A = this chain, B = another copy of it.
Amino acid sequence: MTLTLLAMPGNEAQANALAARLGCAVMLPQMRRFPDGETYLRLEGPVTQNAAIVCTLDRPDAKFLPLVFAADTLRDLGARRVGLVAPYLSYMRQDTRFQAGEAVTSKSFAHRVSDSFDWMVTVDPHLHRYRSASEIYSIPVSVLHAGPLLAQWIAAHVNAPVLIGPDSESVQWVSAVAANLNAPFTVLEKVRKGDREVEVRIKDSQILETGRQAVIVDDILSSGRTMLEAVKLAKRAGAPSPICLAIHAVFAEGAEQPLTAQGARIVTADTIAHPTNAIAVAGLLADAIRASVAA
């Protein structure tokens, strides 16, 4: 298709996979930092009326200005519509004012993104209190679901799985994936103690004593604390080497090591480039990009 597909730094592999499916080329920006910390950005080559920027949005603060500079420049160079392909979408968690005076960053961020793009495509944003992304984004947003891809991966790689959701928020995930596989599942109870400390409990621990391969499934692997507690609990309950399966490999500094030290195998989708990526989302994204451009 006729589309200018710009890959921001770190998104080259995903953009190449998309370009192969969409039949277009990938444009790479020239980017560098001036000595004073400002970003220099230059785009080379012709720009078509339809354009999209591939930029996954983990660690979003430093990425935001370069991203909107790129969007503005595509328009200056002839793009009529510019879409954002953000396989991981940030700032979806602070969706209300839990304490007086808190910034509701999800709304502020959505407002700025909506101001700079015509459409967006993303995979499983962390919708908690929001029922849909369009509650806060004023542009059309295609929300894609990687659950079936996770189920496919399990079906292809695990003989007799038992699925574990690490907290009540994961019920939607785990139950859907388990139904898809016709496999048993359980959901742990999580008690959060601050940003970085959590505790988990299980009600039906006998489900882990059946000799099945435990697969802990979550949407985001960030600090890894919840996943780590779930791994320890699964091991105590008799599931020796659980698989940790997640969509978004956010991985805060040092989050991976304690999991592998427990003998867990980590498998993630490639919404954020990471060595644990084993599930490609390009097929999902490509279909949604095609539809968004045609809309």
Contacts and interface: CB of A to CB of B under 8 A. Distances in A.
Interface of A: 32, 34-45, 58-62, 64-66, 68-70, 72-73, 76-77, 90-91, 93-94, 97, 99-105, 107-109, 111-112, 115, 195-196, 220, 222-223, 250, 252-253, 255
Contacts of A112: 65, 68, 112
A250 B195 CA distance: 34
Contacts of A44: 100-101
Contacts of A40: 94, 102-103, 105
Oligomer: number of copies: 2
Contact of A36 (B72, B90, B100, B115): B90
Contacts of A111: 72
Nearest to A70: B103
B72 A41 contact: no
Contacts of A43: 101, 103
Contacts of A253: 35
A36 B252 contact: yes
A226 to B, nearest CB: 11
26 contacts: A34-B93, A34-B222, A35-B222, A35-B223, A35-B250, A35-B253, A35-B255, A36-B222, A36-B223, A36-B252, A38-B61, A38-B91, A38-B93, A38-B105, A39-B103, A40-B102, A43-B101, A44-B101, A61-B62, A64-B64, A65-B105, A65-B108, A65-B109, A69-B103, A72-B103, A76-B104
